[in-house]
Copies of this chain bind each other. A is one copy, B any other.
Amino acid sequence: MPYFISGVTADHQNLIARTPAQFKSMNDIDVKTRHRVMAIDPAGHTVTVRDLQTGHEYLEGYTRLLISTGAEAFVPPIEGTELEGVFTLRRLTDSLRIKRYLADARPRRAVIVGAGPIGMEMCESFATLGLEVTVMDLAGQVMPYMSPDMAERVQARIEEEGVSCLLEQSVTAIAGDGGAVRGVVTSNGEIKADLVLLAIGVRPVSGIAADAGLELGARGAIRVDEQMRTTGEDIFAAGDCATTTHTITGRQVWLPLGSTSRKQGRACADNMFGGETRFAGVQGTSVVKCFDLTVGRTGLGEAEATEAGFSPAVISIEAESLHQYYPGRGTMNLKLIADGGSGRLLGAEVVGQISSVAEKRLDVLAVAIDAGMTADHLQYLDLAYAPPYSTSVDIPVIAGNIMTGKIRGMECGCGPRGLD
Q: How many copies does the complex hold?
A: 2
Contact status B8-A327, CB under 8 Å: yes
A85 sits at the interface (CB 8 A): no
Contact status A392-B326, CB under 8 Å: no
Contact status A283-B382, CB under 8 Å: yes
Contact status B382-A259, CB under 8 Å: yes
A100 sits at the interface (CB 8 A): no
Tell me, rounded to whole Å, the shortest Cβ–Cβ distance linking A214 to chain B.
24
Contact status A325-B289, CB under 8 Å: no
Contact status B287-A384, CB under 8 Å: yes
Contact-residue bracket for chain A: 35 or more
- Report A257-284 residues with CB < 8 Å from chain B CB: 257-263, 266-267, 279-280, 282-284
Contact status A266-B414, CB under 8 Å: yes
Q: Which of A45-53, A74-82, A217-225, A356-364 makes up part of the contact surface?
A: A356-364
Contact status A366-B380, CB under 8 Å: no
Q: Which of A34-42, A187-195, A227-235, A367-375 makes up part of the contact surface?
A: A367-375
A362 to B401 Cα, complex, angstroms: 22
A211 to B153 Cα, complex, angstroms: 57
Give the contacting residue for A360; candidates B9, B18, B357; CB below 8 A. B357
Against B, the Cβ 8 Å flags (1 = close, 0 = not) of A140-181 are 000000000000000000000000000000000000000000
Tell me, rounded to whole Å, the shortest Cβ–Cβ distance linking A274 to chain B.
13
> Which A residues have a C-beta under 8 Å from some C-beta of B?
3-4, 8-9, 11, 14-15, 18, 26-27, 117, 247, 257-263, 266-267, 279-280, 282-289, 294, 296, 298, 323-327, 354, 357, 359-360, 362-364, 366-368, 370-373, 377, 379-390, 392-394, 397, 401, 414, 418-419
Tell me, rounded to whole Å, the shortest Cβ–Cβ distance linking A206 to chain B.
22
A360 to B327 Cα, complex, angstroms: 19
Q: Which residue of B lies closest to A16 (CB)?
A: B325
7 pairs, A vs B, C-beta closer than 8 Å? A27-B419, A261-B392, A266-B379, A285-B385, A289-B389, A359-B390, A370-B377
Tell me, rounded to whole Å, the shortest Cβ–Cβ distance linking A265 to chain B.
10
Contact status A363-B366, CB under 8 Å: no
Contacts of A326 in B (CB 8 A): 3, 8-9
Contact status B364-A363, CB under 8 Å: yes
Give the contacting residue for A298; candidates B384, B390, B401; CB below 8 A. B384
Determine which residue in A247, A285, A354 has the highest number of CB atoms from chain B within 10 A of its CB, and name it. A285
A22 to B314 Cα, complex, angstroms: 31
Q: When A26-B418, A26-B419, A266-B379 are in contact, do A259 and B370 touch as well, CB less than 8 Å?
A: no
